[in-house]
């Protein structure tokens, strides 16, 4: 898609792709410009350095992948890195991060992301209908974008919560080996989701308490709403993380109990068969002068002894409640 500039000035709202006009637009009083790009180009780099006067380190950070959300105050502008989240299609719960870099200036906003961004498209549609956010200033446009980005977390967190509930029931009813793999995959996803939500909760808290001059006081209430949403996501993911830890322990416990039951059953069978095997071994030695060897009822006598031993052991184990 390249770069596009959303402009609101005395002539109203419009979108332009000629970045050479940005400098003259920014010099006009009452003008707000939102420059968005999804790719790096010499034209964009020149605008960032010559028009927006961004530090070279900030320019490099804009195009570099960052695993950690952050906020940096550079005096003339505010640099923010935030992450959205989407669920990859498929049976497994695969979460993919969406990085968005925002730079908020006095009357301009620059954003960069890789690929199509649903949150940006939604904000653009809102601006085309009503450019009220741009009339308030770049901090409000940044909030609108972050708000759409934050909304991506809620459905994912609630979906994870539903999966965790189903796992809690399945881990007791049928703790099969495939369930353990599901728990571990979900645990990794929840851990990543929690880490992202905690970082961004802290960032939105800083943005909402008046720490930065590029976030005007009337906009603080909007950023507090972002903070509240991340608090909700963090609490939900923290709860799910603890529940998955419990589910993992329950899975190990139930599996161990089933193994113990199987071993107990085999031990009881062995304990019953052992004396019967001993009796069979005695009468299978075939010595010539064994007392019962040529007895007419010796075979039935040996079988009756074996049956009596088996019944005796069974009754004993039953009274001990071992079976």
Distance separating alpha carbons of residues 276 and 306, to the nearest angstrom: 5
Q: How far separated are the first and last CA of the chain, in Å rounded?
A: 71
Query: Mean pLDDT, to the nearest integer, of 211-239?
Result: 91
pLDDT of residue 88: 65
Model confidence, pTM:
0.75
pLDDT of residue 77: 94
Instruction: Assess whether pLDDT exceeds 60 at residue 90.
Output: no
Six-digit token string for 196: 């992202």
Distance separating alpha carbons of residues 140 and 132, to the nearest angstrom: 9
pLDDT of residue 86: 76
Mean pLDDT of the chain: 85
Beta bridge partner(s), residue 83 = 99
pLDDT of residue 91: 53
**Apex 249 CA angle, 180 and 178, nearest 5:** 10
Q: Determine whether 250 is exposed, middle or buried from the number of CB atoms within 10 Å of its CB (0-12, 13-18, 19+).
A: middle
Model confidence at 1, pLDDT cuts 50, 70, 90, reads low
Handedness of CA 139, 142, 146, 148 (dihedral sign): positive
DSSP 88: P
Instruction: Assess whether pLDDT exceeds 60 at residue 255.
Output: yes
Model confidence at 160, pLDDT cuts 50, 70, 90, reads confident
| Most confident listed range (144-158, 242-256, 274-288) | 144-158
Query: Mean pLDDT, to the nearest integer, of 11-38?
Result: 90
- What H or E segment, with its residue span, contains residue 108? strand 108-113
Composition of the chain by helix, strand, coil, percent to 5: 60, 15, 25
Query: Could you tell me the domains of the chain?
Result: 1-133 (3.30.460.20), 260-319 (1.20.58.340)
What DSSP string runs through 110-162?
Answer: EEEESS--HHHHHHHHHHHH-THHHHH-HHHHHHHHHHHHHHTHHHHHHHHHH
Model confidence at 141, pLDDT cuts 50, 70, 90, reads very high
**Per-residue model confidence as pLDDT tens digits over 40-57:** 889 999 999 999 999 999
What DSSP string runs through 259-282?
Answer: HHHHHHHHHHHHHHHHHHHHHHHH
| Most confident listed range (192-196, 208-212, 281-285, 315-319) | 208-212
Six-digit token string for 265: 């059953």
DSSP 226: H
Model confidence at 201, pLDDT cuts 50, 70, 90, reads very high
Instruction: Assess whether pLDDT exceeds 60 at residue 80.
Output: yes
The better pLDDT of the pair 270, 115 is held by 270
Question: CB-hemisphere CA count at 13 Å for 242?
Answer: 5
SS3 284: coil
């Amino acid at each position: 898609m390249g770069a596009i500039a959303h402009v609101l000035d005395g002539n109203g709202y419009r979108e332009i792709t000629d970045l050479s006009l940005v400098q003259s637009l920014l010099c006009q009083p009452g003008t707000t410009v939102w420059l968005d790009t999804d790719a790096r180009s010499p034209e964009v780099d020149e605008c960032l350095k010559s028009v927006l006067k961004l530090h070279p380190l900030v320019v490099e950070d804009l195009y570099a992948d960052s695993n950690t959300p952050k906020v940096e105050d550079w005096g003339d502008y505010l640099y923010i890195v935030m992450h959205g989240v989407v669920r990859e299609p498929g049976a497994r719960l695969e979460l993919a991060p969406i990085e968005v870099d925002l730079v908020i200036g006095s009357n301009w906003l620059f954003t960069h992301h890789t690929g199509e961004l649903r949150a940006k498209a939604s904000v653009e549609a809102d601006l085309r209908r009503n450019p009220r956010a741009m009339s308030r200033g770049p901090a409000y446009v940044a909030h609108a974008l972050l708000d759409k980005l934050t909304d991506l977390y809620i459905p994912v967190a609630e979906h994870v919560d539903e999966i965790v509930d189903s796992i809690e029931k399945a881990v007791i009813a049928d703790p099969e080996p495939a369930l353990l793999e599901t728990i571990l995959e979900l645990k990794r996803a929840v851990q990543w989701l929690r880490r992202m939500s905690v970082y961004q909760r802290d960032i939105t808290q800083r943005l909402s308490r008046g720490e930065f001059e590029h976030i005007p006081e009337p906009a603080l209430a909007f950023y507090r709403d972002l903070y509240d949403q991340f608090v909700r996501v963090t609490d939900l993911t923290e709860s799910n993380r603890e529940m998955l830890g419990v589910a993992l322990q329950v899975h190990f416990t139930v599996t161990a109990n089933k193994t113990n039951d199987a071993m107990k059953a085999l031990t009881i069978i062995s304990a019953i068969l052992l004396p019967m095997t001993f009796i069979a071994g005695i009468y299978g030695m075939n010595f010539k002068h064994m007392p019962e060897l040529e007895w007419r009822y010796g075979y039935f006598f040996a079988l009756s002894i074996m049956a009596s031993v088996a019944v005796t052991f069974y009754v004993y184990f039953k009274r001990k409640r071992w079976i």
